[in-house]
Amino acid sequence: MDSVGIGGAPDADRFFNDGTPDTGANTVGHIAQACADGRADQGRAGALKLPNLDALGLGAAIKLASGVDAPGLGAAPQGLWGAATEVSPGKDTPSGHWEMAGVPVPWDWHYFPDKTNSFPPDLVAQACQIARTDGILGNCHASGTNIIEELGDEHIRTGWPICYTSADSVFQIAAHEEHFGLDRLLALCEGLAPTLHGMKVGRVIARPFIGENGVFTRTPNRRDFAMAAPAPTLLDWAYDAGRVTHAIGKIGDIFSHRGVTHLHKGKGDADLADHLLALAENAEEGSLTFANFVEFDSLYGHRRDVAGYARALEWFDGVAEAFMARLRPGDLAIFTADHGNDPTWSGTDHTRERVPVLACAPGQDARGFGQIAFSDIAASVADHLDIPAQGPGKSFFVRDKT
């Protein structure tokens, strides 16, 4: 559940949004409070309603992580539950995913801190050379949706790619699928990726869009060119052990497609939910499915849309109900997150938070396992699948091996 944080990160004071430290950020806790106060009634109404995730232990995990009693989330846990703390020095997508897959990030990412003229001249020159243009547009920090509105017409007129970044370690390129060309955009990103990865920039992201005359829409053909993790991850452990692995959403991109048997993409989270429900019924015994639902983060967290985030959470709670109903004896399902993105917070960046770890295993008794590390998630999955774990984590889940 991309960005579904629950507050309480002990080092939140080291991470900032527009100069404000992330101390006190709490994505789900603050959304629940806004809903209870009637400040998130657009397209929904009343208290935050997450009966299925709360029954697993979401409210209890929030209390454990941050000491907050989230309104409407007070169910007695019926699942396995706890809260995880990240040690990697970042609050970005690769850091969170790699660490929950057993590989904490051992370096500091490179960022582009200047709000304007963000990129060094030699990098701009390389982008122009690969794109075969005389310049780039943007070269700044920007919202992906705002910058195509501002520069889309100029991009069509000049043919220059729109290059921008954010508080994350990213280099993003927006281009029109028809006027610039999707294949050309992907080739540009792929060509720049080795240089940027050598600088320890985590991702080069292709952001294609369509439209005309100032009305532009991003398409689902986004592609992330991410650095490879510095060591084998949970996906590699399973794949190398002969297990089938399924990557839903942008998981394949995040892990540079290493350890992935089958990739399942879609136009949005609704399509990804269909993949997840189908795999709950049809995935091979002993297989691993890893799914990322990104719209909490991309559509609502970064845009600071509290009501939209609440609607997405309530929709996903229904997906979770349908998914858990399809689980078979011997299955283990874990709901977690990679970082926070508190829509009530200042700025537009991710927020440094602990994350929930909610597990459903048919036939298992309810149990809280307390505060754990992100890497313990990978160790627990490896323990359940009975495959060797290579990372630093410890399993919270002891399965019946009789």
Summarize the annotated binding site as residue ranges: 2, 297, 302, 338-339, 350
- Measured CA to CA, the distance from residue 7 to residue 22 in angstroms comes to 9
Q: For the range 301-304, what are the long-range contacts, defined as Cβ-Cβ under 8 Å and sequence gap of 24 or more? A: 301/3, 301/27, 301/341, 301/342, 301/343, 301/350, 302/143, 302/341, 302/348, 302/349, 303/143, 303/145, 303/343, 303/348, 304/343, 304/344, 304/345, 304/348
- Measured CA to CA, the distance from residue 302 to residue 236 in angstroms comes to 31
Q: In sequence order, which residues have a C-beta less than 8 Å from that of residue 323 and are 6 or more positions away?
A: 276, 277, 280, 333
Alpha helices, H only, 132-263: 144-158, 182-198, 234-240, 251-254
DSSP 128: H
DSSP states of 92-126 as a string? Answer: SHHHHHHHHTT----SPPP----SBS-S-HHHHHH
Give the burial string for 68-107 (b: 16+ CB within 10 Å, else e).
Answer: bebbbbebebebbbbbbbbebbbbbbbbbbbbbbbbbbee
CA dihedral defined by 15, 17, 18, 19, rounded to 10 degrees?
A: -30
Q: Identify whether the C-beta of residue 387 lies closer than 8 Å to the C-beta of residue 238.
A: yes
Annotated binding site for Mn(2+): 2, 297, 302, 338-339, 350
Q: In sequence order, which residues have a C-beta less than 8 Å from that of residue 168 and are 6 or more positions away?
A: 92, 93, 111, 202, 203, 349, 350
CA dihedral defined by 1, 273, 377, 8, rounded to 10 degrees?
A: 10
Q: In sequence order, which residues have a C-beta less than 8 Å from that of residue 157 and are 6 or more positions away?
A: none
Q: Is 208 exposed, middle or buried (0-12, 13-18, 19+ CB in 10 A)?
A: buried
Output the six-digit token pair for 248. 């839903």
